[in-house]
């Protein structure tokens, strides 16, 4: 792999393949990630009796290379094919402008003919107007939308003979529990978890266009954690801001064990957009996120008088001295170290949530 980025100095190259080591230590991680990818890649290459290396020049770019030995495959080996998505007519339905922009970018990259709708009513109008001349092949629906959610929209589409042939894909977060039978009954052929990964969405769209609907063959439609019964479901609104899908899954699972649900955002821009649509009691804020990190996001929230009452709790793996002080200085109310533990999270919720919303 070769890039033309900022390059990596020799000192950093020496520790680049160690776990939790990053070339970019900024809080928005524009050039980095968790620091595990290269360490895992090195381990995989070594397991295949190969080696991996890096060459880099500051200001010019970096080249990663590896070599491994593979057995020659028989000539008649069949590989799974992907449907060509080019020129397919797709409608993206999501009330969040940032999500629409991301999905629009994906569709354009796949050379699809795409349009966007910000709610169910607009989507139905667009689908019906196009039905006579250029019907939509696909519709990608967000589950959580005001007035008409994704499931209601799907049922309406399938009950209208004019647009019932439209293939449907549902986007949902781990915090929403969707039953596979219910989705199939609504005419949904595939479900993709948010935050949406480009490769994952491409695979799902290809599968249903090839006639292989994941919901027709899988017993479980959405791999969400089984909700744990609790004596009381609290009436509290929580927003989880976390760009790492594994960390997001863990945090949502811990909240579910205590009877809470949460909306999700993968960066600070999505947090700001979510606050424009809904009022939250508490935000669990990852400090290091792309686009807009947790520190600046908190400062922007605190600059608006209407958001002064929202409790903001930092979540960070940064164990350096002064980190908690930095979080409090930008306007956060509390601080959780990663990995987040159940009892620590429970104690934090007890401190900051209204008494009427706490679980036992």
From first to last of its 360 residues, what are the pLDDT tens digits of the chain? 777 777 777 777 777 777 555 555 554 555 545 456 777 888 888 888 888 888 888 878 888 888 988 777 666 544 444 457 899 999 999 998 888 999 999 999 999 999 999 999 999 999 999 999 999 999 999 998 888 989 899 999 999 999 999 999 999 875 455 667 778 888 999 888 888 888 889 989 988 888 766 664 433 334 444 444 444 445 789 999 998 888 888 889 899 888 899 999 999 999 999 999 889 999 999 988 888 999 999 999 999 888 888 999 998 876 566 778 888 899 999 988 888 888 889 999 988 886 645 544
Strand spans (E) along the chain: 2-3, 51-57, 61-67, 89-93, 113-117, 138-142, 167-172, 188-193, 238-241, 263-265, 282-286, 311-316, 334-337
2-67 folds as Heat Shock Protein 90 (3.30.565)
Domain 238-357 has CATH 3.50.50.60: no
Cis previous bond, 339, omega within 30: yes
On whether the CB atoms of residues 49 and 69 are closer than 8 A, the answer is: yes
- Is pTM, for the whole model, over 0.75? no
174, two tokens:
């781990």
Distances (CA, A) of 237 to 223, 278, 307: 23, 9, 14
Query: What's the DSSP call for residue 147?
Result: S
**Range list for CATH 3.30.565.10 in the chain:** 2-67
**Range list for CATH 3.40.50.2300 in the chain:** 89-217, 238-357
The strand pairing partners of 52, in sequence order, are: 66
**SS3 of residue 236 by DSSP:** coil
The dihedrals phi and psi of 99, each to the nearest 5 degrees, come to -60, -40
- Angle at which helix 268-277 crosses helix 294-302, to 10 degrees, equals 30
Give the right CATH number for 89-217 from 3.10.180.10, 3.40.50.1220, 3.40.50.2300, 3.40.50.300: 3.40.50.2300
Query: What's the DSSP call for residue 72?
Result: P
């Amino acid at each position: 792999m070769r890039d033309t980025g900022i390059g990596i100095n020799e000192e950093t190259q020496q520790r680049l393949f160690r776990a939790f080591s990053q070339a970019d230590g900024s809080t928005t991680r524009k050039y980095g990630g968790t620091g595990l990818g290269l360490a895992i890649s090195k381990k995989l290459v070594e397991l295949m009796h190969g080696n991996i290396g890096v060459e880099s020049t500051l200001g010019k770019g970096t080249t990663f290379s590896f070599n491994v030995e593979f057995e020659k495959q028989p000539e008649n080996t069949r590989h799974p094919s992907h449907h060509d998505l080019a020129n397919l007519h797709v409608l993206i339905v999501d009330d969040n402008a940032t999500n629409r922009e991301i999905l629009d970018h994906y569709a354009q990259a796949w050379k699809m003919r795409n349009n966007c709708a910000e709610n169910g009513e607009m989507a139905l109008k667009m689908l019906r107007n196009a039905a006579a001349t250029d019907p939509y092949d696909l519709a990608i629906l967000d589950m959580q939308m005001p007035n008409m959610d994704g499931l209601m929209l799907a049922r309406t589409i399938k009950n209208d003979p004019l647009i019932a042939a439209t293939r449907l894909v549902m986007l949902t977060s781990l915090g929403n529990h969707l039953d596979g039978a219910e989705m199939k009954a609504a005419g949904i052929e595939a479900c993709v978890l948010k935050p949406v990964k480009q490769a994952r969405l491409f695979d799902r769209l290809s599968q249903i266009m090839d006639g292989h609907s994941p919901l027709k063959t899988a017993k479980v439609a959405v791999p969400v954690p089984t909700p744990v019964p609790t004596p009381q479901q609290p009436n509290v609104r929580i927003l989880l801001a976390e760009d790492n899908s594994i960390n997001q899954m863990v945090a949502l699972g811990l909240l579910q064990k205590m009877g809470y649900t949460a909306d999700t955002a993968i960066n600070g821009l999505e947090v700001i957009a979510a606050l424009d649509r809904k009022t939250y009691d508490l935000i669990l804020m990852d400090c290091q996120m792309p686009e807009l990190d947790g520190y600046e996001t908190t400062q922007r929230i605190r600059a608006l008088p209407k958001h002064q009452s929202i409790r903001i709790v930092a979540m960070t793996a940064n164990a350096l001295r002064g980190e908690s002080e930095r979080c409090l200085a930008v306007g956060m109310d509390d601080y959780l170290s990663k990995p987040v533990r159940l009892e620590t999270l429970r104690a934090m919720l007890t401190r900051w949530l209204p008494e009427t919303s706490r679980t036992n």
